[in-house]
Amino acid sequence: MKEWLKRRVSGSPFLKHMLTLVSGTAAAQAVGLLLQPILGRLYTPEVTGELAVYMSVTAIVISIAALRYDMTIMLPDTDDEARQLKRLSTRSILVVAFITTMAAMIAYPFIVDRYGVISSRILLVAGVSVFLVADSAAIQYWLNRKLNYKAIAINRAQQSIGILVTQIGLGFAGVRSVLGLLIGMIVGQAAAWITIFRKSADVREPVAPETPSMKELAFRYKKMPLLNGPNTLVDAVRFNGIILLLTATFGHAVGGEFFKAWAITEAPVALINGAIAQVFFQQLATVERGKMAPLVVNAIKRALLIGILPFVAMYFVAPYIVPWYLGAQWVNSGYYAQALVPWLYIQLASSPISYIFIVTEQQQRLLGFAIGYAVVPLAFLWTTPYPPLLTVRILAVLMASMLLIMITMSVYSAKEYDRKEPVDDAT
């Protein structure tokens, strides 16, 4: 069995790179899950909900901080052009981080009215997280281009473990307010950024004089901010808007309980999707016409087969194992975790293949879907007359149904791409 696995991995670059990412991030996920019982007993759902507001707001901004030029780092033929795109991404991130800080100051009274004084105060440092996380992501695209998946895995592990260890340390030191969670988060993000910055010295090398300027490259890849940017923003507003609306409607405790349920149930999905998506994007970017549709269909089938047994088990055991694991104060999180199963199962198949719309230059289709995918849940949450648990159950079914539509669109786009004649990129 061991020799068979070695032959399979050595003969498949996809499996080799995926397993590199999985092995690194699996350690982080495992440590994270092992530390959750300690974290759950140090910080209440109310305090967790306060941090969830901060994380949701920063996640929305981070999603478009680089104006999606970070993704274009994978595309040029030359490394010098990719270096220019990394610099363009970082400059954009710095500007957006500054604007975020200014916006938090201006919107302070509104945030106080909706989420309270504590959430308003901690959002004043949101720009710091925006820069650290967004620039780390941009560097990861460079490392992906250079096939340095080991460095990506280490970075993810360091950030995840660093955040949790610092938060737990502060909790034991008596800082059991949202301040302990916030400081732990920023320290972990900063340490991870410093590490990945040092491991990517080659991206900061001087470029050849004939390399196009950042302005020229920004114009060449203008579809990213114009089409993919809005799609990414809509997608970020969708999920993080769910957290924000649940918190605004039902209070910080419900927001914290849902946030914790999502974090522990989505962890294995994120582990698999994160590894597959990085490698699958690289495969999609280089696949020959006529071979994309089979690649996409096989990826969907693999994901659904891998996930069916774990998610069936999760549905039946979540209401019991979650409060036992995290502590009695998290009993509601167990039922939220159970409710999320349909959504997370379909997401396992849909998340990696969403890159197909970028590779086939059909961002407008993804944007159209993303708008509907955001409007439906947010409109439902805005008007829901139901209690929290029933609200989440209905929400999960709605999201799973819409993801099935997106999978169908992905297969159609792949088949359409395979049928078309190649087009010169310059046009």
Give residue 422's identity as a one-letter amino acid code. Answer: P
The residue from 158, 192, 214 where one domain ends is 214
H-run or E-run covering 249: helix 229-250
pLDDT of residue 39: 95
Q: Are residues 259 and 112 in the same domain?
A: no
Examine residue 322 and state whether it is found in any structural domain, yes or no.
yes
pLDDT of residue 285: 66
Examine residue 7 and state whether it is found in any structural domain, yes or no.
no
The residue from 214, 235, 267 where one domain ends is 214
Examine residue 424 and state whether it is found in any structural domain, yes or no.
yes
Q: Are residues 22 and 122 in the same domain?
A: yes
Phi first, then psi, for residue 78 (nearest 5°) are -110, 150
Give the pLDDT band (50/70/90) at residue 190: very high
Strand runs (DSSP E) across 302-366, as ranges?
none
Q: Are residues 204 and 228 in the same domain?
A: no
Which residue bears the tokens 């087969």?
305
Question: Residue 11 pLDDT > 60, yes or no?
Answer: no
Cα(65)–Cα(97) distance, rounded to whole angstroms?
Answer: 7
What is the DSSP code (8-state) at residue 100? H
Q: Are residues 200 and 57 in the same domain?
A: yes
Query: Beta-carbon neighbour count of residue 352 at 10 Å?
Result: 26
Give residue 192's identity as a one-letter amino acid code. Answer: A
Reported as a single tens digit per residue, the pLDDT across 197-220 is: 999 999 999 999 999 999 999 999
Question: Residue 89 pLDDT > 60, yes or no?
Answer: yes
Cα(206)–Cα(120) distance, rounded to whole angstroms?
Answer: 42
pLDDT of residue 426: 44
Q: Are residues 195 and 236 in the same domain?
A: no
**Token couple for 231:** 């799609």
pLDDT of residue 278: 59
Nearest CA among 380, 267, 354, 269 for reference residue 30: 267
Is-contact 238 59, C-beta < 8 A?
A: no
Average pLDDT on 75-99 reads 94
Give the pLDDT band (50/70/90) at residue 14: low
Domain boundaries, position 182: 12-214
Q: Are residues 256 and 169 in the same domain?
A: no
Cα(291)–Cα(145) distance, rounded to whole angstroms?
Answer: 22
Question: Residue 170 pLDDT > 90, yes or no?
Answer: yes
Cα(13)–Cα(11) distance, rounded to whole angstroms?
Answer: 7
Examine residue 1 and state whether it is found in any structural domain, yes or no.
no
Q: Is 187 exposed, middle or buried (0-12, 13-18, 19+ CB in 10 A)?
A: middle
Is-contact 24 153, C-beta < 8 A?
A: yes
**Token couple for 96:** 């957006």
Q: Are residues 75 and 38 in the same domain?
A: yes
Question: Residue 2 pLDDT > 80, yes or no?
Answer: no
Cα(67)–Cα(214) distance, rounded to whole angstroms?
Answer: 13
pLDDT of residue 388: 96
Q: Are residues 271 and 157 in the same domain?
A: no
Based on DSSP, count helices (H) and strands (E) in the chain, helices before strands. Answer: 19, 0
Examine residue 280 and state whether it is found in any structural domain, yes or no.
yes
Reported as a single tens digit per residue, the pLDDT across 268-325 is: 677 667 666 656 666 666 667 777 777 788 778 877 888 889 899 999 999 999 999 9
Q: Are residues 248 and 393 in the same domain?
A: yes
Structurally, how many domains does the chain consist of? 2
In this structure, the chain runs to a length of 427
Cα(33)–Cα(292) distance, rounded to whole angstroms?
Answer: 36
Give the pLDDT band (50/70/90) at residue 42: very high
Greatest CA span in the chain, whole angstroms? Answer: 64
Reported as a single tens digit per residue, the pLDDT across 117-157 is: 999 999 999 999 999 999 999 999 999 888 888 888 888 88
Examine residue 137 and state whether it is found in any structural domain, yes or no.
yes
Nearest CA among 31, 360, 56, 32 for reference residue 223: 360
Examine residue 174 and state whether it is found in any structural domain, yes or no.
yes
Average pLDDT on 397-410 reads 92
Examine residue 23 and state whether it is found in any structural domain, yes or no.
yes
Give the pLDDT band (50/70/90) at residue 18: low
pLDDT of residue 246: 96
Q: Are residues 152 and 65 in the same domain?
A: yes
Q: Are residues 202 and 245 in the same domain?
A: no
Q: Is 264 exposed, middle or buried (0-12, 13-18, 19+ CB in 10 A)?
A: buried
Q: Are residues 103 and 193 in the same domain?
A: yes
Question: Residue 1 pLDDT > 50, yes or no?
Answer: no
The CA-atom distances, in angstroms, between 345 and each of 25, 32, 33, 48 are 20, 21, 19, 25
Is-contact 257 330, C-beta < 8 A?
A: yes
Cα(46)–Cα(254) distance, rounded to whole angstroms?
Answer: 8
**Dihedral class, residue 251 (left if φ above 0, else alpha if ψ from -120 to 50, else beta):** left
Instruction: Tell me the percentage of the chain whose pLDDT exceeds 90.
Output: 59
Average pLDDT on 48-76 reads 94
The residue from 150, 179, 214 where one domain ends is 214
